[in-house]
Chains A and B, each alone.
Chain A
Amino acid sequence: MAIVFQKPKALKDTPMHYCPGCTHGIAHRLVAEALDELDIEGKTIGIASVGCSYNSYDYFGCDMIQAPHGRAPAVATGVKRSKPDNVVFTYQGDGDLAAIGTAEIVHAAARGEKITVIFINNTIYGMTSGQMAPTTLLNQYSTTTPYGRIADQHGFPINVCEMLATLEGPAYIERVSLHDVKHIKKAKQAVKKAFKVQIANKGFSLVELLSTCPTNWGLSPVESLKRVEDDMIPHYPLGVFKGKDLEV
């Protein structure tokens, strides 16, 4: 018998600190599988952001830089502009990318920076224990919307893929989900394609992965996956928003 599934080489052995059932672990694995299968770990530089995944450099085996909150796309721009032959990716949560880092992601995309952005959307701030994020859904409870998110007070959730797809810069934008095996496999293809877009020098690529936060949602890991399907996908439809017919 041969091994058909195991931890990808580009993921280090360090056990991850993420809460039980948190899909960060799956997202990390998909990125690492892409690095393995495209054989690019050696020339990849990853940019960790600030949030639950602040120390993703403890898990990814490639060279890594830890960026200030929201600034990973700018750090990645500095790296890529200095080392255009390297593969550069950022790994960011929804607070990092869509709140404090909105200007950085919009302009990196608008410039068509040849970087790959792995965007984890779990509709909440995880690390700081459950505050509202720009992607928090209306009526969703959080520690800063204790009575539910109310549009009149807290504004509306931001659909990042749709927003960035209005820009000319990006070459490939897709939203995927991690809520079941079938979707995880599709997510893996999207992540891999995003890296291929970069390697083929086609421009900016971003994959948004709908993810869970059992701890701060107050749900079990299994219930959390269900919430992604029932509550999140209706507001954050899956699909390719830019670069449908892009051949890489």
Chain B
Amino acid sequence: MQADIKWLDDPQVFRVGQLPAHSDHYWYRDADEARAKSSSFAQSLDGQWQFKFADRPQHRPVGFYEPNYDTSDFGTIHVPGHIELSNYAQIQYINTLYPWEGKIYRRPAYTMGPDQTGEGMFSEAPDNSVGAYIRHFRLAPGLTNQRVIVQFDGVEEAMYVWLNGHFLGYAEDSFSRSEFDLTDALVEGDNVLAVEVFKRSTASFLEDQDMFRFSGIFRSVRLVGLPTVHVADMHIRPVVNEDLDSGELNVTLKLTGDLESKGRVHLTVFDKADKLIVDEKRSVAKQISFGHLPFENVMLWTHHNPDLYHLTVTITDEDSNPIEVVPYDIGFRRLELRNQVIYLNGKRLIINGVNRHEWDATTGRTVSMADMKADLQTFAENHINAVRTCHYPDQIPWYYMCDQAGVYMMAETNLETHGTWQKMGAVEPSDNVPGSLPQWREAVLDRARSNYETFKNHPAILFWSLGNESYAGDDIEAMNTYYKTMDSSRLTHYEGVVRNRKYETSISDVESRMYASPAEIRTYLSNQPMKPFLDCEYMHDMGNSLGGLGEYMALLDDFPSYQGGFIWDFIDQALWVTDEVTGRQVLRYGGDFDDRHTDGEFSGDGLMFANRQAKPAMQEVRYYYGQYDN
């Protein structure tokens, strides 16, 4: 297989050579490793990489992935990180309009007719900068003599991957993990991993989120070894019965490796008091199902009592020695939609939520564990019980942390195309993607699949969100169908269908709006609402704002179908810069990098300033969310 730069232009090519998406579990060699959460099957590739920047595809170092390529003119870059924040490329912030506004004329492929293929739109574009990354590595002892996978947790916006000159594949979807099997290209000793990252591709149309526009390998990269028998995917489905007291657990495992092994697969579940609830053994097989395992006196997972059970899958060889240990903490909760009201564990669900972009004022969307812990602490202090991962999947640890903290999640697919239908505030969808175009359907379905398959086992997730501000058509309808087919235990969410009510019955379990006034919400809820109502975005906290929150909270008293909402948003997006005049560290926003067109300070809408200091308005959130903290 040969890499083809024209894939950048073709919405129908978005993953080549990638492993299928699967659950986000960690695996360990034995119980001790699992307890320490330190796997000898994993080898981090984070750190300094060799790097060469090209301002456009035509200037890129063609063939740099060959092991004997002369890289003497390469510099370095830190992985994970954004190319722009390493000052190789200009920083730009823009909201709705595409970042090339007024500089390059583009219409998404096939929106102007079946012959409009878009060929050359990105592969020959002067604004499509390229990062050539090289990382040498030697396999750690724990990874030798087994299959080895490379995991990229996040790369914007399109990448080609080679190992030792062998092409491995291509990936888009910047915010989902991409994996490639390296095994057949590995050599003893020094290996050369090469990644070519393009700032733009057809994915750019799908990733028009209101944020600083970055590129590069901005989340961690690691190698993982697969033991001789390996759990490739686990599907864990805890069920709580109507009595809210009993339940059952269903677990389906997909195994890879030596499926003829005489080993055993051992499933245990302990409750939080270390009482053994499940103790099941099976033979190794390609697929193993543990069905209808009964639970009594179920400890329900809720915001205030996020009780988790400790599930472990242990694979042993025929001499009962461990081959692989896979722990996963699971939660039992019952989510229901009855008579236009959402109930969680029998109680009406009230969302005291925030939208949260991943943000750090120094490192951009490369956020640290410390950032995530601080954010959850802030949630706890201010009665914030829910988070929408606007508008893309977050780093994987965040989902585990929300499980543990009892934070309800709206897990959003990486999709936002408002530049294709929202023109200076008006709805004008003539070049909308994905719309109902078949050429864009598989790309957005793949994004939904990656989101679902990766995060399906997290009790914190109550809603699958199809994306943000992308209008509505057959393709988003297909995403809704996909989620509903895969998962009957959660609800789907999508706001954009209110812009095209033709799809009202087939997209989104909830009536979701952004920035509706309290009066508009009253009108909807007073007229035989078809669906429960939630604000996917409200209380736009730009600068000194957040007045009138009480009028929204009063809706909770007046309408059972009003389920609350997610404040826009959690943290200002601004960047620390050394002031060119005073030398002080100062926070800068769009336009401060000579970036045009830009939406300036519009990204400063947080309850927190970009340095994670709370804005004064936070006390109002704490008060009202505290009043409705159930």
> Do these two chains interact?
no
